[in-house]
Amino acid sequence: MDIKSEPSSRSSGEPAQTTEDRRWRLVNRTMRMHGNEPHALIETLHSVQEHFGFLDLDALKYVAGALRVPLSRVYAVATFYHYFTLKPPGEHTCVVCKGTACYIGGASSILDSIQQEVGIGPGETTSDGQISLLTARCLGSCGLAPATVFDGQICGRMTSAAVLERIRRWTNHDTGD
Amino acid sequence: MTTPSYTPDPTPYVRRDVNPVRILTFTIDGRDVSAREDETILSVARQNGIFIPTLCHLDGLSERGACRLCIVEVKGAPKLLPSCVTLPRQDMEVTTNSDRVADYRRKILELMYSERNHVCSVCVSNGHCELQNLSVVLGMTHVRYDYIYPKHAIDASHERFSVDHNRCVLCQRCVRVCDEIEGAHTWDVMGRGITSRVITDLNQPWGSSETCTGCGKCVQVCPTGALSEKGKSVAEMIKRRQFLPYLQMMRREGRRAVAEGIR
Amino acid sequence: MTLAIEDLEGIAKIEKERQEGFRHRINVCIAAGCLSCQSGLVREALEKEVGRRGMENWCLVKGVGCLGLCAAGPLISVEPDGVYYQGVTVSDVSEILDSLGGSPIGRLHCPAQSPFFTRQHRIVTENCGKIDPERIEDYIAERGYEALYTVLRSMTPGEVIEQVVASGMRGRGGAGFPSGLKWTAVSKAVNNTKFVICNADEGDPGAFMDRSVLESDPHRVIEGMAIAAYAVGARHGYVYVRAEYPLAVKRVRTAIAQAERLGVLGSGIFNTRFDFKIEVRLGAGAFVCGEETALIASIEGRLGRPRPRPPFPAEFGLWGCPTLINNVETLANIPPIVRNGGRWLAGIGTEKSKGTKVFALAGRVNNTGLIEVPMGTILRDIVFDIGGGIPEGRQFKAVQTGGPSGGCIPEQHLDMPVDYESLAAVGSIMGSGGMIIMDDASCMVDVAQFFMEFCMSESCGKCVPCRVGTTQIYHLLRKITNGTGKPSDLAMLEELCDLVKNTSLCGLGQTAPNPVISTLRYFRNEYLEHIDDKTCQAGACKIGSVREAL
């Protein structure tokens, strides 16, 4: 939640107020490593997303100022590349691979069953902020298709039942206590 | 362990493989023409009064080669080439208006019409629209593809101008003029593919843009009714572009002066 | 800091002796495939158990790169016996250690004599599954960096390029452009600053060769880049790798750091005047960045939108400087070419396609995984011999090569050799090496729609034919798969494919219609069934519900 509070205490383009936060220091370090040059934009956005989980508008504004990249260009880059997300992720993330092998192996039926179970489609987060459902272009685990990633852990040879079992573990745990 | 990043040379990229002094000769539609090595086929064609349709091209702005309307056939080349970015070679044989090319151009235009909502009869640019003119010139009478027609909003938050994304063809003239001539870079294109859309600043209402100087160049270069002046009714929006060649010339003179050390 | 050949040999010798000092060596695959079936836990358990039993001095547990047969993961191999175990779990650990020196465990045994292993010809993947990707010493023990030493100390850049030209190798990224020509062009370009870029933005869904090579043998790629840099006159290199491959990114970074520490990267490498540095740049989820000019734009921190060529990167690349861009697999071929000479590689493969090709075998086939075969291997052998055929007794239908830019090859062409020309002749492409097998449960219209959806959402949006054309094609395919297609849609589909193919700006758009064109060519009857009879034989399309509703 500090993600929310941090930018509000800071006006655009002034790094001094953000250095309190260790995560901003790491982002600043990335920019410095590239000489604070405009060409560091993508590397910097990677750094922001790695440390904050997503890119919020204040972060984009800050990076634009620090690297002297036009605001609209920063927004364009952040939305052109699908690895970047402008929305905060849920507590848990489930990434379903939609590579060819996984598709042939039934990835779309896995997606359908998740949609039925928790009512969210790809790119969406449940209203309680618990679960985010994402799709990946290809995780490169085609030998183990269909593959799914639960909170960063890749699992191969998934079935709808196995995926739902994992998701229920999240939801049951959270409603249970 | 980190190596210092390579910092690019601040001088602008210059093509080193062409010599602007050398003159070559080639043919367009069977006519002998001559050109400098750094001139495009499009510009040579225009100098010789040969028509090639264009949309994303605008004299005074950088080239993108994106609308694909200016494609031409070159003898011996397996692919069709965009004339706005292709440089001629000695003895090249260019055909600008074969049946094949004309057919492709009409289809590309149809695709543009199918992408967004281009209902001329209610458009401020009706009668003064480049897209409309192109369909007349290229003989595109109807669209056979299904209309995609996404519902886009109109942003009228700017005090003097408004943007109607439904009329936008993503030619990026506004992006380029704002970046290259005005130097504000208020505009850019967000997203990609079919979901691309022009934006101001951080995808915020135009009127709230901190970088927009309100110069209106983007409005004047827009080929359709996507960008228009407020208060204009149907068919009233006539674009004025006389400023562009002059500005571009002054820019060039300025650069030369700097290069020669004259302040 | 400066390293001589004796030092390399010394490191190799010490490492060899160290490893041979162990009576038993257990290699556990720690590439992403096996890691996702918990091979990391198996490795930990083995190490713990070896420690508990006090076997540390004569039993080595080593993490290695991809052993190839991902379908049977986690895989381990026991050396020097050459025994492979498959599907190993933590509970098998004790039994494995008990069996050392005795007879192998039949229950876990993975036949190393099966065609999957014996029919391969490993050059690029020769060290995969053999060396620890996180130890430079292990790579050096397998003659690593020897080629770089040879090149720097006894060859001129021209001589290096001659070897690459003589090898006849063609780029492994997809288009198959002769590598020697590319190198020559960059070396001839006049400029003080040049760059070498390793394209590891493996975007084809269903392809994981580059990931495996980077995860299993990253130093090989670094050595290839350094040799390339020397040959063309570059001092700075970039590895552009997908952020979706965190393990590959980590291993490349580790490898670069190790190489710098040892002095095989940096200034004055091997006491010569050759300097070379490598940086890693992360891709951010844009397939189009596999295209050279888009990749360059992305490294420059800009939008990954291709620009028209010429000028080609060889004369006008990164920051306007001459730039050599090669794929991971291409660069991984360079050290062996230098060690054995270009003619050696030219002796493998077919007349116009030299060397080997790594394929990622996936889909409806028994032995999914990574294979490397000589160019010209018969497709049927790959699917049925090496791949072990179709599971569950189902019927083979098609093999898809080249990802979203490629095509589907039906049964009747299975007996053709796999090389650039033959694949092109049947309407597909070599591509980067994804090979997806489909059986009778796959609907070809559905597959075409899948690829078109991919191309539509990966289109950068710059040129009109690709941006709008792919969308229109996708909508038509969707109409066909949901049972609302009209007979006239097929002609429209063909018209749009022709338009997008011939008028798009870059390779993505120009090849995007290929999956549709090739399925229309070989499986037109399936399209007609969907349109005329409103049925999907494979049962993949949700056409039934529409039919009932009608």
The string of pLDDT tens digits covering residues C176-234 is 899 999 999 999 998 889 999 999 998 888 888 999 999 999 999 999 999 999 999 99
Contacts of B201 in chain A (CB under 8 A): 71-72, 75
Residue C487 CA to residue C77 CA, distance in Å, equals 56
Burial environment of residue B12 by CB neighbours within 10 A (0 to 12, 13 to 18, 19 or more): exposed
Q: What is the ipTM of this complex?
A: 0.93
Residue of B192, B195, B197 to mutate when probing chain C, most C C-beta within 10 A: B192
Measured in whole angstroms, the distance separating CA B63 from the mean position of its chain's CA atoms is 7
Query: By the CB < 8 Å criterion, does C37 face chain A?
Result: yes
Rounded to a whole number, what is the distance in Å from the CA of C239 to chain B's nearest CA? Answer: 13
Contacts of B213 in chain A (CB under 8 A): none
Strands A131-136 and B31-36, by their bridges, are unpaired
Q: Do B189 and A75 touch (CB under 8 A)?
A: no
Domain C22-112, what fold?
A: Glutaredoxin (3.40.30)
Q: Using a CB-CB distance cutoff of 8 angstroms, which residues of chain C are in contact with residue B108?
A: 464-465, 499, 503
User: For residue A5, is pLDDT > 70?
Assistant: no
**pLDDT in the model for residue A22:** 87
CA distance B192 to chain A (A): 5
CB crowding A17-39: b at 16 or more within 10 Å, else e: ebeebebbeebbebbebbeebbb
DSSP calls for A95-115 = EEE-SHHHHHTTHHHHHHHHH
The token duo for B233 is: 């009714």
Give the pair of three-digit tokens for residue B167.
């009329």
pLDDT at res. B9 = 52
Residue C41 has which token pair? 């836990």
Q: Which pLDDT score is estimated for C406?
A: 93
Angle at C13 between CA C7 and CA C19, to 5 degrees: 140
Q: How far C347 CA lies from chain B's nearest CA (Å)?
A: 32
pLDDT at residue C519 in the model: 96
CA distance A54 to chain B (A): 16
> Which residues in B lie closer than 8 A to residue A75 (C-beta atoms)?
188, 190, 199, 201-203
Confidence at residue C68, expressed as pLDDT on a 0 to 100 scale: 87
Using pLDDT thresholds of 50, 70 and 90, give the confidence band for residue C172: very high
Considering only CB atoms, C245 lies closest to which of A38, A84, A140, namely A140
CATH 3.10.20.600 in chain C, residues? 356-439
- Ramachandran category for residue A150: left, alpha or beta (phi over 0 → left; psi -120 to 50 → alpha): beta
The reply to whether residue B211 touches residue A70, judged by beta carbons under 8 angstroms, is: yes
> Considering only alpha carbons, which residue of chain C is nearest residue A97?
C205
CB–CB contact A80 C287 (8 Å)? no
Domain regions of chain A by residue span: 2-80, 92-176
Confidence bin at C27 (pLDDT 50/70/90): very high
Q: Which of C35, C301, C436 sits opposite A101 (nearest CB)?
A: C436
> How far apart are the C-alpha atoms of B7 and C303, rounded to whole Å?
18
Chain B residues whose beta carbon lies within 8 Å of the beta carbon of residue C505: 65-66, 68, 82
Percent of chain C whose predicted confidence (pLDDT) is above 70: 98
Tokens of C19: 């490893």
| From B8, B13, B107, residue closest to C499, measured CB to CB | B107
Report the residue from C195, C320, C510 with minimal CB separation from B13. Answer: C320
The pLDDT tens digits for C447-505 are 999 999 999 999 999 999 999 999 999 999 999 999 999 999 999 999 999 999 999 99
Instruction: Tell me if chain B has a CB within 8 Å of the CB of C501.
Output: no
Token pair, residue B80, equals 């069709």
* Pairs of CB atoms within 8 A across A/C: 146
- Which residues, listed in sequence order, are joined to residue C324 by a DSSP beta bridge? C196
Which of B2, B184, B188 is nearest residue A76 as measured by Cβ atoms? Answer: B188
d(CA C154, CA C159): 10
Residue A139 touches chain C, beta carbons under 8 Å:
yes
* Residue C547: Cβ within 10 Å count: 11
Structural domain C144-346, CATH architecture: 3-Layer(aba) Sandwich (3.40)
pLDDT of C96 reads 92
Q: With an 8 Å Cβ cutoff, are A143 and C302 in contact?
A: no
CATH of the domain spanning A92-176: 3.40.30.10
Across the interface, of B15, B64, B104, the residue whose CB is closest to C316 is B15
Q: How many residues does chain B have?
A: 263
C233 vs C189: CA distance, rounded Å? 10
Residue in chain A lying closest to B2 (CA)? A33
Residue C73: predicted pLDDT: 79
Contacts of C6 (CB under 8 A, 6+ apart): none
- For residues B48 and B31, the answer to whether their CB atoms sit within 8 Å is yes
Instruction: Return the CATH number of C444-549, one of 3.40.605.10, 1.20.1440.230, 3.40.720.10, 3.40.50.700.
Output: 1.20.1440.230
Phi and psi torsions of B58, nearest 5°: -150, 125
The shortest C-alpha distance from A159 to chain B (Å) reads 32
C104-130 tens-digit pLDDT:
898 999 888 899 999 999 999 999 999
Q: What is the DSSP string of C99-122?
A: HTTSPPPTTTEE-TTSHHHHT---
Q: Tokens at residue C231, please? A: 């040959």
The DSSP code sequence of C240-295 is EEETT-HHHHHHHHHHHHHHHHHTSSBSSGGGSS--BEEEEEEE-S-GGGGSHHHH
In A, minimum Cα distance to C300 occurs at A39
How many residues in chain A? 177
User: Where do the H-state alpha helices sit in C133-217?
Assistant: 136-141, 146-154, 157-167, 179-188, 209-216
Indicate if the pLDDT at residue C13 is higher than 80. yes
Q: Whose CA is closest to C175, among C527, C423, C378, C477?
A: C423
Test A79 with B186 for CB contact under 8 angstroms: no
Inter-chain contact B194–C475, Cβ cutoff 8 Å?
no
Contact yes or no for C125/C172 (Cβ under 8 A): no
* Nearest residue of chain C to residue A150 (CA atoms): C36
B111 CB near a chain C CB, below 8 Å? Answer: yes
* pLDDT per residue as tens, chain B (263 positions): 444 455 555 444 566 677 888 899 999 999 999 999 999 999 999 999 999 999 999 988 999 999 999 999 999 999 999 999 999 999 999 999 999 999 999 999 999 999 999 999 999 999 999 999 999 999 999 999 999 989 999 999 999 999 999 999 999 999 999 999 999 999 999 999 999 999 999 999 999 999 999 999 999 999 999 999 999 989 999 998 888 888 888 888 887 888 787 65
CA distance B209 to B202: 8
Collapsing DSSP states into helix, strand and coil, what is residue C25?
strand
H helix or E strand, kind and range, residue B25: strand B23-28
CATH value of B23-97 in 1.20.1250.20, 1.20.120.1200, 3.10.290.10, 3.10.20.740: 3.10.20.740
At the top level of CATH, the class of C356-439 is alpha beta
Closest alpha carbon within chain C to A102: C363
Looking at the DSSP bridge assignments, the partners of residue C85 are C76, C109
- The amino acid sitting at C28 is V
**Mean pLDDT estimate for chain A:** 84
- For β-strands B81-82 and B71-74, DSSP reports them as antiparallel
Ranges C98-102, C319-323, C387-391: which has the least confidence = C98-102
Residue B89, pLDDT score: 94
Mean pLDDT across chain B, nearest whole number? Answer: 91
pLDDT > 70 fraction of chain B, expressed in percent and rounded: 93
Angstrom distances, CA of residue B12 to CA of B15, B18, B35, C276: 10, 16, 24, 25
Q: Are B199 and A72 an interchain contact pair (Cβ–Cβ within 8 Å)?
A: yes
B103-247 adopts what CATH topology?
A: Alpha-Beta Plaits (3.30.70)
Nearest Cα residue in chain B from A43: B5
Tell me the pairing of strands C277-283 and C236-242.
parallel
Q: Copy the structure tokens of residue C455.
A: 């191309």
Task: Compute the half-sphere exposure of residue A134: CA atoms within 13 Å on the CB side of its CA.
Answer: 22
**B-chain residues near A61 (CB < 8 A):** 202
- Chain A 27-66, CB below 8 Å of chain C: which residues? 37-43, 45-46
CA–CA separation, C416 and C381 (whole Å): 10
Structure token digits, residue C368: 């999914």
Q: Which chain B residues contact residue A39 at CB under 8 A?
A: 5, 8
Q: Are strands B81-82 and C434-439 parallel, antiparallel or unpaired?
A: unpaired
